Amino acid sequence: MKTQINEFLNHLMIEKGFSGNTIQAYRNDLYQLEDYLRADKNFDDANDLDSTTLSNFVLTLQEKSYTRSTIARKIASIKSFLAFLVREGILHQNPSDNLSAPKIGRTLPTPISEEEINKLLDSAGAGQSPESLRDKAMLEILYATGMRVSEMVSLDQNDINLSEGYVKCMGKGAKERLIPIHDSANQAITAYIDIARPNLIGNPREPALFVNQRGERLTRQGFWLILKDHAQRAGIQSPVTPHTLRHSFATHMLQGGASLRQVQEFLGHSSIASTQIYTLLTNTHLRSEFEKAHPRAHRI
């Protein structure tokens, strides 16, 4: 079945334009199913799959204490794969049609406050070493644009237009968007490119905008360690992950008066429903401010 899985993954990459991270998630999920089925001597091909076998696989995931969201994602991967096999005529019927995913409650994003953002940026900008200038530029551009960390580390030098003040970002589904950069971020990126990057790169032909100490393109994992270090130095008690800056950007933009459509375009959401979740956070903020300010809010 691994050949069929690989054909499906090629379909996602070539025809659907899915990102490498998304395809890797599908690969992990489907290879795990294939490993489970390979342990069954009666299983030879996808045509041997039935609803009972799939239900038993889900039970093993539950026994291994996978979270509900992870199980739901794996089921979605399986359903997409089997639907592909049906469309290709390999399967006559989809055995996952009646396979239900666990219900997942909506979890709100967790932004940090503007004060905490300033502390984080001040921590990164405290030094003048090449690494400090790079870290400052990375944090500034993430908070200025709301792009995903995978999008940031994928940036090349020619994706930045400092004179016009925008960045060209390649998002999910190979969709390109242009995002404006404010002056503070522009200055930080300019300092990094002019002063720090020449001291970090090993190969002058390296296209990556942000590089590590070996002069190679910085990875998501590398940025995560950098962010964690600066959050600790800044004394931020709230959990800070690479996605926290994206959440904070969206929330603070809406609080500042930006429209939902504008924020949707900046974030690269294909559906405005994905952006609307941030209105729940801003409404909570407005309610809190109302409670503080209204003279009768605390009366009984």
Structure confidence at residue 286 as a pLDDT band (50, 70, 90):
very low
Catalytic annotation present for 246: yes
Q: Which of 73, 134, 246, 252 is catalytic?
A: 246
156 and 204 Cβ atoms separated by less than 8 Å: no
Catalytic annotation present for 269: yes
Catalytic annotation present for 192: no
Structure confidence at residue 109 as a pLDDT band (50, 70, 90):
low
Query: Tens of pLDDT along 116-167?
Result: 999 999 888 878 899 999 999 999 999 888 888 888 999 999 999 998 888 8
196 and 138 Cβ atoms separated by less than 8 Å: no
Q: Which of 74, 148, 197, 247 is catalytic?
A: 148
Catalytic annotation present for 172: yes
Q: Which of 11, 27, 243, 285 is catalytic?
A: 243
Integer Cα distance of 40 and 43 in angstroms: 6
- Full-prediction pTM beyond 0.75? no
Query: Tens of pLDDT along 287-299?
Result: 554 455 545 545 5
Q: Which of 172, 220, 233, 285 is catalytic?
A: 172
Ordered domains of the chain (ranges, CATH): 2-87 (1.10.150), 114-291 (1.10.443.10)
Write 70-77 long-range contacts (CB < 8 A, 24+).
71/101, 71/102, 72/101, 72/102, 72/104, 73/25, 73/29, 74/29, 74/32, 74/33, 75/99, 75/100, 75/101, 76/101, 77/25, 77/26, 77/29, 77/30
Catalytic annotation present for 92: no
> 277 or 115, which is more confident?
115
211-222 mean pLDDT: 89
Structure confidence at residue 2 as a pLDDT band (50, 70, 90):
confident
Integer Cα distance of 113 and 247 in angstroms: 11
